[in-house]
Amino acid sequence: MAAHEVTHVRTATAAEARPASRLPAFADPVPVGIAGFGMTTFVLSCVNAGFFGGSAAAPMVLGLAIFYGGLVQLLAGLWAFAKGETFAAVAFCSYGGGFWLSYFFLVRYIAPQMSASVAGNAIGLYLLAWLIFTFYMTIAALRTNVAVLCVFVTLTATYLLLVLAELGVASSSLLPIAGYVGITCGVTAWYVAFAHVTNATFGRDLIPTRPLA
């Protein structure tokens, strides 16, 4: 065997022996993302339902809206993009970076500058846009699992009730109902987070989510 052939064989063998470079492994972003969504939704919905002082207690939601519901959920969405999980990425980036962070600025800085009549219509339009987005995400959720679908169905219903309340359609009765439905949505989101983190920790499906696809 010629010297150059020996060198070629050694080079090929060395290349085969080297471990292939791999992208860094990412854990499942769903539990932290949907837990942030669930907790913030639960707290705001308790306020809407009239618990813990009702609207007077609304400012206590803002911290969650910035950090757990906002930034943490946004990071979970970027994490999901890195893993190629399109549905989770769109949901978490939209509700985290899109809804909860914008909700903070809307409530803290924008709405107080408007008259009551204008603010109601403006917030109604804002929520209507989120209702449309949530509705088509609910259609996409038909290919996920029953637990996630329940989150989106109850969230769609919550937005619908909030839109009607903000536009002045039986506000005094619809806002508490929206709160109760929102509480259901938050608890269901917590269930999804609980299922994902428990099943991942135990390495088997202990908590059912009932896949639809």
pLDDT of residue 116: 82
Task: State the total domains in the chain.
Answer: 1
Does the pLDDT of residue 7 top 80, yes or no? no
pLDDT band at 6 (very low <50, low <70, confident <90, very high): very low
Does the pLDDT of residue 8 top 80, yes or no? no
- Burial letters for 42-72: b for 16+ Cβ neighbours within 10 Å, e otherwise? bbbbbbbbeeeeeeeeeeebbebbbbbbbbb
Three-class SS string for the chain?
CCHHHHHHHHHHHHHHHCCCCCCCCCCCCHHHHHHHHHHHHHHHHHHHCCHHHHHHHCCHHHHHHHHHHHHHHHHHHHHHHHHCCHHHHHHHHHHHHHHHHHHHHHHHHHHHHCCHHHHHHHHHHHHHHHHHHHHHHHHHHCCCEHHHHHHHHHHHHHHHHHHHHHCCCCHHHHHHHHHHHHHHHHHHHHHHHHHHHHHHHHCCCCCCCCECC
pLDDT tens, position by position, 149-179: 999 999 999 999 999 999 988 888 999 999 9
Q: Is residue 120 part of a domain?
A: yes
Domain, as residue range, for 73 = 28-199
Residues 26-50 have a mean pLDDT of 95
pLDDT of residue 52: 85
Q: Is residue 191 part of a domain?
A: yes
Residue corresponding to tokens 């837990």:
35
Evaluate whether 50 touches 182 at the Cβ level (below 8 Å).
no
Q: Is residue 13 part of a domain?
A: no
Q: Is residue 74 part of a domain?
A: yes
Q: Is residue 6 part of a domain?
A: no
Q: Is residue 167 part of a domain?
A: yes
pLDDT tens, position by position, 97-146: 899 999 999 989 998 999 887 888 999 999 999 999 999 999 999 999 99
Q: Is residue 86 part of a domain?
A: yes
Q: Is residue 188 part of a domain?
A: yes
Q: What is the mean pLDDT of the chain?
A: 89
pLDDT tens, position by position, 51-99: 988 778 888 899 999 999 999 999 999 999 999 999 999 999 999 989 9
